[in-house]
Amino acid sequence: MTKDGVQGAAEETDQAQSKKGLKKQQKEAEKAAKKAEKQAKLAADQQTTDEDDFAKDRYGVSPMVQSSQRLDRVLVRVQELTLEKSDQLIWVRARIHTSRAKGKQCFLVLRQQQFNVQALVAVGERASKQMVKFAANINKESIVDVEAVVRKVEQKIESCSQQDVELHVERIFVISQAEPRLPLQLEDCVRPEGEGDEDGRATVNQDTRLDNRVIDLRTTTSQAIFRLQSGVCQLFRDTLMNKGFVEIQTPKIISAASEGGANVFTVSYFKTSAYLAQSPQLYKQMCICADFDKVFCVGPVFRAEDSNTHRHLTEFVGLDIELAFNYHYHEVIESITDTMVQIFKGLRDKFQTEIQTVGKQFPSEPFKFLEPTLRLEYQEGVAMLREAGVEMGDEEDLSTPNEKLLGRLVKEKYDTDFYVLDKYPLAVRPFYTMPDPTDNKYSNSYDMFMRGEEILSGAQRIHDAQLLTERAIHHNIDLEKIKAYIDSFRFGAPPHGGGGIGLERVCMLYLGLHNVRQTSMFPRDPKRLTP
Amino acid sequence: MPMYQNKGTDEHPVVRALEARQDEIMRRLYELKAAVDGLAKTVTTPDADVDLTVTTLSQSPVTTAFRGTSDLDTLLGKDLGALRDIVINANPAQPPLTLLVLHAMLCQQYRVLSSVHVHSSVSAVPTQLLSCLGLRHADSYLRQRFQLGFTLIWKDVPKLQMKFSIQNMCPIEGESNVARFLFRLLAPYPSDPALATLVDSWVDTAFFQLVEGSTKERAAVLRALNSALGRSPWLAGPEFSLADIACYCCILQTGPPSSTPANVQRWLKACENLGHFRLAQLLLQ
């Protein structure tokens, strides 16, 4: 109805403009015209709807759920929509994943977490033409309540997780409407690496994803990753609880840096300053001295390292273990490696669907491990590297490329993605590391590796105040600053050892992902503080 | 023996008793010889060259079994200051009996760090397979103290596989080939090419005809064994060799034959008396 008016106005201004501007103007005018047309049509539709829509009670936008009534309606989960439910009339709440209208029918894909099902709205005795139109016009990602009959399908629906059935919609109500334009498309987010380039289709880069994390987290891949991560935590807790460990909570605001002062965050603390804990190390050890015997702790850990790599975050979740042992620190190694193996086994047995879902977007070889875990000594590792042509000194620390190469060599010989490297040179470990009794060049310390990347660093700690003081002096550490720590060992301390694992790294390496940000829900790094 | 057989082919109780006594004496002689060989080995260990010259001088076609080849450097190449670890991937459905026997023999000669692992590709492994390499060495926390590593991994592999020096060697496939490799660490092959080939051929016969063959084939092998053992106490002459280990283990694996010829029976007894096969036997129970 406004079509003519708009065009007329556009023509008037045309003359004053250049040719380029003219074209642009024309396009804009056309756009406006189209928009107007659409609106007009919509209004007209509305009219006809009001006039003769027999199904007008069967669809629409529900009033905001403000808990004004409590319905006895059972909402079935999408996951449960299988052949057993066929020919039943059920209610489902789900998101509109995609919609495709085709004449008198409209296909919707309804999504709930990592599961989705095809739904069909077709003109018939239950649905009117207007209802189909309404269904087709619901914005993507809106949440809807749907009443539908479950029907068996002739051919499997390959694009959905529920392949054997589809829903024949009888009623559809919008519970929460999404804005029409999404900052990124979910399909683009789950496209396997490299595939988008070939088809010339869009892929979303990591930063855009992280900027819109809430939407990115809805993808099947993200859903699977974080379900698996929750599984890692649960398996870690369950295994340790069964071994008689006690879960402890330690303060994160501390008065002194625990591992070197350089990479620690300073926070203002009333009239003085404090630090964010780099690890619960000191507190774990104090608990051992306080007769807790075996402790673990799950909590945030902060590192102020300005390293922008694929595997560093400034805040991550640490899974820390510390335990007293009887005679040999290998009791500690065995306890930790057994815990890790239990986690790997639990993931392999209980999270197979999640692993496969992630594998669809980020293909990787399944994680392999040995039970009991393979333990190599540092000298052996160095010998393997030398045999492969790497030149390095006996007491030199492993560089990251060498770590990776050693991981590959170990994988080739033993076919395991998880192993322990024992007996590190004393010189490259922190001051509280117990020296080796036979050779002072080495120490009772160990690293654990997954897919050639370090996930855990641990050692037998010095539980003798005298030796601890000596070692601290050797490392040029101000004794005054660590007085409280050394003092805790003066009143009888059992021999003990432990280690700390980064939850995000374990998930990343288990799934064979390439960036730790993928397994951190809201990652923090030197350049990212939001969302 | 032919003498007695000529006189009275009928089964006379006195003759039988005599035969039994002779067998017993023979067996004890073999045992004695083995013991003396063992002693000789310890005496000649420091200088293996002497041993070699002795055999060449005497023009004996067979070298003494179980020479003290403690010098692993000559056998396995230069020492890199780390444990030489032999990794064997075996399927728990087919436990490699010969390798377990050879492992026990290696342990007598070297300081061997043995460990058993289960790969994530198999879910459940019977407990006796987890302890098939015997008890853990008391020093096993110090890997550098050992000369050889023997790492057995129960894994879902179609064929048994050995990985040793990944930089220089491709993985070795097949139990028989791995057995040959391990046996050479214990004793050199006979220097006589014909005899060495004979040992090899017996090993092949054991794995391809005894284990995988039909009943007919197995019976044929038993006949061949019987005639060979009629000529000499062990399969490849007067010395116990890999041929005996392989054939014994393969017979053990296929179950006792319904009718064992006399020489084979005597030989089976002699093998058992050596004591190398006890663990393998236990495993099959």
> Which residues of chain B have a CB within 8 Å of the CB of A392?
none
Q: How many contacts (CB atoms, under 8 Å) link A and B?
A: 62
Asked if B120 lies within 8 A of A369 by C-beta distance, the reply is yes
**Lowest-pLDDT range of A316-325, B65-74, B83-92, B171-180:** B65-74
Q: Which of A383, A412, A414 sits opposite B82 (nearest CB)?
A: A383
B81 has pLDDT over 80: no
Q: Tell the burial category of B264 from Cβ atoms under 10 Å away from its Cβ (0-12, 13-18, 19+).
A: buried
A221-518 matches A73-176 in CATH topology: no
Q: Say how far apart CA B169 and CA B87 lie, in whole Å.
A: 12
- A4-8, A447-451, B168-172: which is most confident: A447-451
Q: Once rounded to an integer, what is the mean pLDDT over residues A382-400?
A: 90
DSSP secondary structure of A115-133: EEEEEEEESSSS--HHHHH
Q: Please tell me the pTM assigned to this model.
A: 0.81
Residue of B nearest to A342 (CA): B120
Sign of the alpha-carbon dihedral angle for A445, A448, A449, A453? negative
Question: What's the pLDDT tens digit per position in A105-162?
Answer: 999 999 998 899 999 999 988 889 999 999 999 999 999 999 999 999 999 999 898 9
Q: Once rounded to an integer, what is the mean pLDDT over residues A425-439?
A: 92
> Which residues of chain B have a CB within 8 Å of the CB of A343?
none
Q: Which residue has the higher pLDDT, B69 or A486?
A: A486
Residue of A nearest to B165 (CA): A413
Asked if A328 lies within 8 A of B80 by C-beta distance, the reply is no
Q: Are strands B172-173 and B161-163 parallel, antiparallel or unpaired?
A: antiparallel
pLDDT at B259: 72
A279 has pLDDT over 80: yes
Asked if B141 lies within 8 A of A328 by C-beta distance, the reply is yes
The CA distance from B152 to the nearest CA of chain A, in Å, is: 10
Q: Say how far apart CA A73 and CA A88 lie, in whole Å.
A: 14
Q: Say how far apart CA B246 and CA B271 lie, in whole Å.
A: 11
Q: Say how far apart CA A12 and CA B261 lie, in whole Å.
A: 116
Fold of A221-518: BirA Bifunctional Protein; domain 2 (3.30.930)
Q: Which residue has the higher pLDDT, B279 or A376?
A: A376
pLDDT at A314: 94
Asked if B143 lies within 8 A of A413 by C-beta distance, the reply is no
- Chain A contact for B165 (CB, 8 A cutoff): yes
pLDDT at B90: 95
Asked if B117 lies within 8 A of A377 by C-beta distance, the reply is no
Which tokens belong to A220? Answer: 């099947």
Report residue A17's pLDDT band, with 50, 70 and 90 as the boundaries.
Answer: low
> Which residues of chain A have a CB within 8 Å of the CB of B121?
368
Report residue A47's pLDDT band, with 50, 70 and 90 as the boundaries.
Answer: low
B166 has pLDDT over 60: yes
- Chain A contact for B130 (CB, 8 A cutoff): no
CA torsion angle for A42, A45, A49, A51 (degrees, to 10)? 130
pLDDT at B6: 47
Give the single-character DSSP code of A291. Answer: T
Query: A73-176 architecture in CATH?
Result: Beta Barrel (2.40)
- Chain A contact for B129 (CB, 8 A cutoff): no
A189 has pLDDT over 90: no
- A191-200, A212-221, B135-144, B232-241: which is most confident: A212-221
Asked if B83 lies within 8 A of A380 by C-beta distance, the reply is yes
The CA distance from B260 to the nearest CA of chain A, in Å, is: 42
Q: Say how far apart CA A330 and CA A333 lie, in whole Å.
A: 5
**Cα distances (angstroms) measured from residue B211 to each of A236, A363, B217, B220, B251:** 46, 41, 10, 13, 8
> Which residues of chain B have a CB within 8 Å of the CB of A451?
none
pLDDT at B76: 76
- Chain A contact for B276 (CB, 8 A cutoff): no
Q: Which residues of A are annotated as catalytic?
A: 303, 305, 311-312, 454, 457, 505
B54 has pLDDT over 70: no
Asked if A387 lies within 8 A of B167 by C-beta distance, the reply is yes
Q: Say how far apart CA A265 and CA A256 lie, in whole Å.
A: 11
Phi and psi at residue B129, to the nearest 5°: -75, -25
Q: Once rounded to an integer, what is the mean pLDDT over residues B21-49?
A: 70
> Which residues of chain B have a CB within 8 Å of the CB of A384?
82
> Which residues of chain A have a CB within 8 Å of the CB of B165?
387
The CA distance from B159 to the nearest CA of chain A, in Å, is: 15
Asked if A386 lies within 8 A of B80 by C-beta distance, the reply is yes
Q: Are B108 and B42 in contact (CB under 8 A)?
A: no
Peptide bond preceding A526: is omega within 30 degrees of 0, i.e. cis? Answer: no
pLDDT at B44: 45
Domain map (residue ranges) of chain A: 73-176, 186-218, 221-518
- Chain A contact for B44 (CB, 8 A cutoff): no
> Which residues of chain A have a CB within 8 Å of the CB of B120?
344-345, 348, 366-371
pLDDT at B71: 65
